[in-house]
A = this chain, B = another copy of it.
Amino acid sequence: MQPDPVTVVEVGPRDGLQYESVFFPTEAKIALIDRLSATGLRRIEVTSFVHPKVIPHLKDALEVLHGIHKAPGVIYSALVPNLKGCLRALETPVDELALFVSASQAHNHKNVGMSIEDSLKGFADIARQALAAGRSLRGYVVTAFGCPYEGAIPLERVERIIEAYGELGAREVSLGDTTGMANPRQVGEVFARLGAEHQGLPLAAHFHNSRGLGLANAYAAYQAGCRVFDSSVGGLGGCPTAVGAMGNVATEDLVNMMEEMGAATGVDFDRLLEATELIKQTLGGELASFTCKQGRPAWNAP
């Protein structure tokens, strides 16, 4: 039986670049996103409207969104932390806004200085504005699989946040293992309990490779029915030689795994590597990705 296809959501230009040690020049960001638009990816998160003092690496959100060449059929999204960020984003041709809240009270307080409940309340205005402007909404549940401040996260809390996103009109919710605490057994159990959709809302899996378990967790989520996966081209955000490496699972590594298993991604591996070349030229050094060095397995070697 042919395994189900999957949807890959590229988050490198946002979740990856915000953690790199140097500023990725605006023109390089635009060139990178344009290359990604030619890979077959259908979803790209391109930037964030978090305050430039908090994430200086993405201070050029407006220029990036105005500079890219949107490809037909690709949905471009941006992260927004609050109504102000939302209104700035709505001045651009962005297709989708992504909201975020932690499943850990302690983490949400550290991250945005308020309780989970207050975050969700604040989303009401954003959702109204975004939907009225014809943009779609994606919700992130940060630290959904564990929090370095709180430890284990009750699944009921994750479910409650998913439901809140549903009421806001989101079209998908992404469950994030923000600090790489999840293990594949846990991930399998979480997705088995929640389902590929929770109360009609599709769930995505967002894994960081902090402890090398990103792909194992993605496999466990896939086995449990999840069909949408976030990843970062080149493994951006996780320099392999840096202590504290915490990048997302690399898009090309995820694509290789899924395609090797027979799960179609619609993404051209070689074109992804062209995007990683641009990253290497811009950042210097090696990337955290494995397959950008090794390529795909040679099953039809001469």
Interface on A for B, CB 8 Å cutoff?
3, 146-152, 179-181, 183-186, 209-216, 218-220, 240-241, 243-246, 250, 253, 256-257, 260-262, 285-286, 288-291, 293-294, 296-301
Contacts and interface: CB of A to CB of B under 8 A. Distances in A.
B146 A297 contact: yes
Given A211-B291, A212-B215, A294-B245, A184 B301 contact: no
Contacts of A214: 212
The A interface is mostly helix, strand or loop, or mixed, namely loop
One complex includes copies of this chain to the number of 2
Contacts of A262: 185
Contacts of A219: 184, 216, 219-220
A299 B146 contact: yes
11 contacts: A150-B301, A180-B297, A183-B257, A183-B260, A210-B294, A211-B294, A212-B291, A215-B216, A216-B219, A241-B241, A245-B294
A300 B257 contact: no
Contacts of A260: 183, 185-186
Contacts of A3: 185
A151 B210 CA distance: 32
B211 A151 contact: no
Given A212-B291, A291-B211, A148 B298 contact: yes
Contact of A216 (B210, B216, B241): B216
B299 A151 contact: yes
Contacts of A184: 216, 219, 257, 261
Contacts of A298: 148, 151, 181
Contacts of A243: 293
Nearest to A286: B241
A19 to B, nearest CB: 14
